[in-house]
């Protein structure tokens, strides 16, 4: 009788070629969406203090240059956020034909016919109170907000957006936007729903980048409680039923179990948002020399793919594309 062989998984880890051969998940530039912040003014390239490497860009050479870089690295998509010239109760610039995002869309579309243009559709950057909808008696009025979101989405589609991404966590937002787009002749434009968005402290640096912190209270009456995961599946199912084309889970790193749970309950493409706080923590620790930025970023983003994300929105997208090119090169 022969002695039973012990299993030796290490045999498959012996050389780099072998490790690559049996690798289960890959990162590719084609999986990434690069967020961009557009502002009024001329020749503005203003770095966000809490997000080194991320800039507010004016809609001129500043934006052109950044978009060129993104394109040249093989990143297929950008996600636009706008900072308006002025804010008011309902956020009027949000649905203005010549609003900041609408102008950016037209400019990019003219120069890059095949770049995927995603837009964030929300009110918080545009409203004087900084909430994600119309405020009545101190509360965000869900249904009054839906009409505004529909108008915003249509102006974005008119200006060339491929996919609009509502992020306000209003009930019925996907259906309202779908109806508005269809009614305006944009049946061919898609919706990426921020279906599962938590009330997270990880958005801190973004609120500096987009100047969108709420003036009173917080967002816990509309964004999800970090303690819940069954509710995430429910939110995803509702948005799928309302006609979402892609779903998102946000933030990503502290919610990989949620990415997995949603992945297993829908056939729609799933996007993870590697949010501002996740980016800033890595940048800060790397600056202190406490971690290896490149390895930590690639490991974190690989974890998001492994959890079930098809695509990733990340401020590290350009860095990742450069690193992947070096590794392949
Ligand atoms: C707007 C919006 C936010 C983010 C994306 N869209 C902020 C918020 O909800 O407070 C966060 C993105 C990030 O932190 O990178 N509703
Ligand atoms: Zn918002």
Taking only the tens place, the pLDDT of each residue in 163-189 is: 999 999 999 999 999 999 999 999 999
Task: Determine the pLDDT at residue 328.
Answer: 84
CA 27 remoteness from chain centre: 17
Question: Going by DSSP bridges, is the β-strand pair 270-274/311-314 parallel, antiparallel, or unpaired?
Answer: parallel
Per-residue pLDDT band for 255 (boundaries 50, 70, 90) equals very high
Centre of ligand 2 to C-alpha 64, Å, is 26
Q: For residues 73 and 319, what is the distance between their CA atoms, to the nearest angstrom?
A: 9
Contact by Cβ (8 Å): 115, 63: no
State the average pLDDT over residues 103-116: 98
Ligand 1, atom 8: closest residue by C-alpha: 203
Task: Determine the pLDDT at residue 304.
Answer: 98
Task: Determine the pLDDT at residue 329.
Answer: 78
Ligand 1, atom 5: closest residue by C-alpha: 167
87 is catalytic: no
The secondary structure of 91-126 as a DSSP string is: -GGGG-TTSHHHHHHHHHHHH-TTSEEEEEE-STTT
Q: Which atom of ligand 1 is nearest to the CA of 197?
A: 9
Whether 249 shows a pLDDT value over 90: the answer reads yes
Centre of ligand 1 to C-alpha 203, Å, is 6
Task: Determine the pLDDT at residue 168.
Answer: 98
Centre of ligand 1 to C-alpha 258, Å, is 18
250 is catalytic: yes
Whether 290 shows a pLDDT value over 80: the answer reads yes
Ligand 1, atom 7: closest residue by C-alpha: 203
Ligand 1, atom 14: closest residue by C-alpha: 203
pLDDT in tens, 212-224: 999 999 999 999 9
Q: For residues 217 and 173, what is the distance between their CA atoms, to the nearest angstrom?
A: 22
The token pair that represents 244 in the structure block: 């979402």
**Residue 79 CB contacts under 8 Å (≥ 6 apart), including other chains:** 33, 34, 35, 36, 118, 119, 120, 165, 313
Listed residues: CB within 5 A of ion ligand 2:
122, 124, 132, 168
Pocket test for ligand 1, best of 34, 37, 79, 122 (most atoms within 8 A of CB): 122
The token pair that represents 249 in the structure block: 């889970």
pLDDT in tens, 307-328: 999 999 999 999 999 999 998 8
Spell out the domains of the chain, with CATH numbers in brackets.
27-328 (3.20.20.70)
Whether 271 shows a pLDDT value over 70: the answer reads yes
Average pLDDT over the chain, rounded to an integer:
97
Centre of ligand 2 to C-alpha 122, Å, is 5
Whether 247 shows a pLDDT value over 90: the answer reads yes
Task: Determine the pLDDT at residue 4.
Answer: 79
Whether 115 shows a pLDDT value over 90: the answer reads yes
Whether 3 shows a pLDDT value over 80: the answer reads no
Whether 270 shows a pLDDT value over 80: the answer reads yes
CA 3 remoteness from chain centre: 55
């Amino acid at each position: 009788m022969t002695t039973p062989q012990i299993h030796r998984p290490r045999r498959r880890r012996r050389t780099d070629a072998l490790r690559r051969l049996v690798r289960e998940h890959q990162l590719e530039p084609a999986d990434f969406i690069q967020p961009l912040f557009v502002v009024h003014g001329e020749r503005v390239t203003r770095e966000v203090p809490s997000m080194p490497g991320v800039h507010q860009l004016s809609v001129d050479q500043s934006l052109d240059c950044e978009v060129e870089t993104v394109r040249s690295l093989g990143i297929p998509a950008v996600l636009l956020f706008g900072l308006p010239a002025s804010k008011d109760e309902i956020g009027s610039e949000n649905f203005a034909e010549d609003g900041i995002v609408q102008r950016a869309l037209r400019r990019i579309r003219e120069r890059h016919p095949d770049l995927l243009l995603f837009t964030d559709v929300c009110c918080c950057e545009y409203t004087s109170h900084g909430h994600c909808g119309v405020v009545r008696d101190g509360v965000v009025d869900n249904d009054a907000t839906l009409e505004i979101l529909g108008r915003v989405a249509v102006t974005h589609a008119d200006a060339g957006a491929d996919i609009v991404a509502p992020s306000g966590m209003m009930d019925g937002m996907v259906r309202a936007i779908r109806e508005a787009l269809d009614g305006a002749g944009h049946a061919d434009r898609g919706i990426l729903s921020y279906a599962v968005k938590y009330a997270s402290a990880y958005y801190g640096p973004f609120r500096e980048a987009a100047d969108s912190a709420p003036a009173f209270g917080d967002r816990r009456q509309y964004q999800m409680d970090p303690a819940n995961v069954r509710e995430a599946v429910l939110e995803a199912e509702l948005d799928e039923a309302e006609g979402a084309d892609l779903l998102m889970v946000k933030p990503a790193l502290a919610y990989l179990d949620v990415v997995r749970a949603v992945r297993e309950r829908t056939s729609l493409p799933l996007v993870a948002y590697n949010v501002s706080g996740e980016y800033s923590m890595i940048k800060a620790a790397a600056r202190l020399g406490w971690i290896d930025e490149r390895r930590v970023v690639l490991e974190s983003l690989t974890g998001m793919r492994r959890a079930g994300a098809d695509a990733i929105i990340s401020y590290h997208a350009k860095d990742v594309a450069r690193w992947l090119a070096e590794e392949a090169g």
